[in-house]
Structure 1
């Protein structure tokens, strides 16, 4: 089955970045369409039951246009249907373990959302501590290899790379202390930042857009920088 792929995206969305990274790791051609989530077009709302990105529109000769939503579902579909480097372990138990860590990455993003949008110092500190605790768990799970599970890049790496990207800007603003005592996490972060698929998952304007997002939310994070 041959299919054309169209990824409906938003320039800042970390969940979109997962799908972009997976597609690039597989070397799959796709069309990316960025939308404004504050002014969602009608055609997008018809495609996305949850009104969220990413949505992968798969067009085939036999089924026509099918819209897949939820980033992990999209990544699994890419893994199951596209040739190229395997992004999931072959062993069923290891694969399930990787899926669990992908969900853990989503939980980290939940805390990150609170960290970057809150105006309240107490809430900010609660989220900072929650992130530190979660990354401490990640530290224990990591080995001494460059990626999450060894020398091979996986979907877990695709999930965590967009998380670390936030801290490229946060580190310019203030010292959060989240990775201070986590040498394996720091090494993993540095390795992921070098990956071409990770680097090209966002546009050159990403840092400016993220900073503007913080300004719009009157984020406490910016007050720490001041």
Structure 2
């Protein structure tokens, strides 16, 4: 796991796997505004919580979501324009702080 190991090889393997997963998700999104096409639907609802982790993945994996997955970032920004989404998602920076605290408790630096 990207944040649960201090082993460089494990972290790099986790990062590569994570990037591959998000590449698949971006490919499935394609040029559509939402996964279901023009309307926000069940797949969007299921995936948008991962947006709260984008900053954490970037910081711990040393990569940029904007550079790697511009379509996913645009999709996420469209989704958070919806009040139901913006009010239900955790702040990305708070998620990162919690993950750092977990790393500290686990002794993973």
| Shorter-chain TM band | 0.7 to 0.9
What is residue 102 of structure 2 aligned with on the other side?
Answer: 216
Q: Separation in 1 of the partners of 2:51 and 2:101?
A: 20
Q: Separation in 2 of the partners of 1:125 and 1:140?
A: 22
Deviates more, 1:182-191 or 1:121-130: 182-191
Q: Separation in 2 of the partners of 1:178 and 1:214?
A: 19
- Length, aligned pairs only: 107
**In the TM superposition, what is the alpha-carbon distance from 1:210 to its structure 2 partner?**
4.2
> Normalising to structure 1: TM-score of the pair?
0.39
The CA RMSD over aligned residues, in Å, is 3.0
Matches within 5 A, 1:1-226: 114-171=1-58, 175-177=62-64, 180-202=67-89, 207-208=93-94, 210-218=96-104
The structure carrying a bigger strand percent of its residues is: 1
Change (3 A) 1:173 1:130: closer
> Normalising to structure 2: TM-score of the pair?
0.72
The structure carrying a bigger helix percent of its residues is: 2
Structure 1 unmatched runs, 5+: 1-113
Change (3 A) 1:199 1:141: same
Q: Separation in 2 of the partners of 1:202 and 1:183?
A: 20
Q: Separation in 2 of the partners of 1:138 and 1:170?
A: 15
